[in-house]
Amino acid sequence: MPRAFRAAFTLVVFITAFWTTSAIVRAFVPEQMKFAWLLEIEDDMEVIFVGSSHVLRQMDPAVLHHELSKAGLDYDAFNLGYPGAHFAETTYWADRILDRKVPNLKVLVLEAATLEGGMNPENDLSRRQIEWHDERRMASVLRVSADFDSFGRHFAHYFHRLGNLDRGPAAFEALFFGASRDFEGKAGLGVNQTGFRPFVGNGQSKSEKRRHKEFLADADPFEGKRRSVVDAPWDIPAHLALESEVARLEAKAEANGVQIIWLIHPGMTPAEGWKDLARREVASRVVDFSDSTLSSRWYQQNLRFDFDHLNAVGASEMTQELAGAVLQLPTL
């Protein structure tokens, strides 16, 4: 056997063994608590929200249930929002949910975020950041990563995930002693274990209290910001990578009998490409709460907690409007 052929054969065997071993180990690594809880209750869920803190803090499953019940629909929902989650992480969880073929799932509400969402360096190599760096997400983010540093950070997370680095002890414990199923009293599961964690009062942490105080310092907190954003291009063509991911998820959801609603948060910067995708019906159902003038009701001080989030009252009212969009879906 020629030496080059033996070397190539050995490399193929090594890579195959490595991938197989990694997949076996990963199968025993316990899920993150919030997703683990969703797996416990998924058979009862008709609606699941996925996105960043704009979902976590603003989509109330109890309000959705109440509004839909008025129309005779007994739909339960779960909020799988995570602070700082960007589009790649949102699509990762959406794929995980759709792959499970949740029996009663009717609607996925996904945040319509920009494709290039930067990773906070403070969270580098955290379990959450590593989790979503699979092959599909890598293919997407590398198409839009702007510099060598971004490439390097993404690849570092990918190889940590591929090799299950630092996850061996957790996998070993789960294999021989079982994964923890203690969900009682876990703050991360939100109000009544629905995943929803609204901003209440003046905030809880020091940073929340500071942001809330700064927001309330001006009678019209958005006045200065309007001047800087009103001329920004809020309607620009979608990046091809974003378009292909949206089209792929739409097709996958349809094949599973699930309808997707894309939610545009009332922020201060445009959700780049989403108006274009909605107009061309690549994203078939888009609920847009944004306003390029920062002057709609969602930007009024009485409904906001800070410059980037609604308070509990605003969250309730937004969820009520979202319920109206759910009721307009063609099949429920």
Give the phi and the psi of residue 244 in degrees, each rounded to 5.
Answer: -65, -35
pLDDT at 273 over 80: yes
Beta bridge partners of 259: 107
Q: How confident is the model at residue 231 (pLDDT cuts 50, 70, 90)?
A: low
Query: CA-CA distance, 250 to 96, in Å (whole number)?
Result: 14
Q: Is residue 26 part of a domain?
A: no
Q: What is the pLDDT of residue 173?
A: 61
> Which domain, by its residues, includes 194?
31-120+181-327
User: 306: helix, coil or strand?
Assistant: strand
Residue 21 lies in a domain: no
Indicate the pLDDT class of residue 171, thresholds 50, 70 and 90: low
Domain count, the chain: 1
Q: What is the DSSP secondary-structure string of 174-232?
A: HHHH------TT-GGG-GGGSS-----TT-SSHHHHHHHHHHHTSSSTTHHHHHHHTTS
DSSP codes, 17-65? HHHHHHHHHHHHSPPPHHHHHHHHHGGG-SEEEEESHHHHTT--HHHHH
Q: Whose CA is closest to 214, among 149, 301, 294, 136?
A: 301
* Lowest-confidence segment of 49-58, 83-92, 145-154, 238-247 by average pLDDT: 145-154
Contacts of residue 197, Cβ cutoff 8 Å, sequence gap at least 6: 56, 57, 79, 81, 188, 190, 191
pLDDT over threshold 60, residue 175: no
Give tens-digit pLDDT for 119-141.
Answer: 777 788 888 999 999 999 998 88
The DSSP annotation for 115-145 comes to S--PPPGGGTT-HHHHHT-SHHHHHHHTTT-
Please report, for the domain that includes residue 200, its CATH number: 3.40.50.1110
What was the pLDDT predicted at 95? 98
Would you state the structure tokens that stand for residue 175, as one six-digit string? 């294999």
| Residue 183 in this model has a pLDDT that exceeds 80 | no
Candidates 35, 81, 33; CA nearest to 197 is: 81
- 91 lies in a domain? yes
Q: Is 90 exceeded by the pLDDT of residue 59?
A: yes
pLDDT of residue 319: 98
In a domain, 212, yes or no: yes
The span from the CA of 214 to the CA of 225, in Å, is 14
Residue 26: the pLDDT is 61
pTM for this predicted structure: 0.91
Q: How far apart, in Å, are the Cα atoms of 39 and each of 34, 74, 93, 186?
A: 9, 20, 12, 16
Residue 118 · residue 154 · CB < 8 Å: no
Task: Please give the structure tokens belonging to residue 92.
Answer: 């990762």
Return the number of other C-beta atoms located less than 10 Å from residue 141's C-beta: 24
Whether the Cβ atoms of residue 212 and residue 202 lie closer than 8 Å to each other: yes
**Least confident interval from 39-43, 89-93, 179-183, 300-304:** 179-183
pLDDT digits (tens, 9 = 90+) for 88-122: 999 999 999 999 999 999 999 999 998 865 677 77
Query: Is residue 228, in this structure, part of any structural domain at all?
Result: yes
Is residue 176 assigned to a domain?
no
pLDDT in tens, 288-329: 999 888 889 999 999 999 999 999 999 999 999 999 999 999
Q: Which of 109, 156, 124 is nearest to 258 (CA)?
A: 109
Predicted local confidence at residue 108, as pLDDT: 98
227, part of any domain: yes
Residue 31 has pLDDT above 90, yes or no: no
Residue 213 lies in a domain: yes
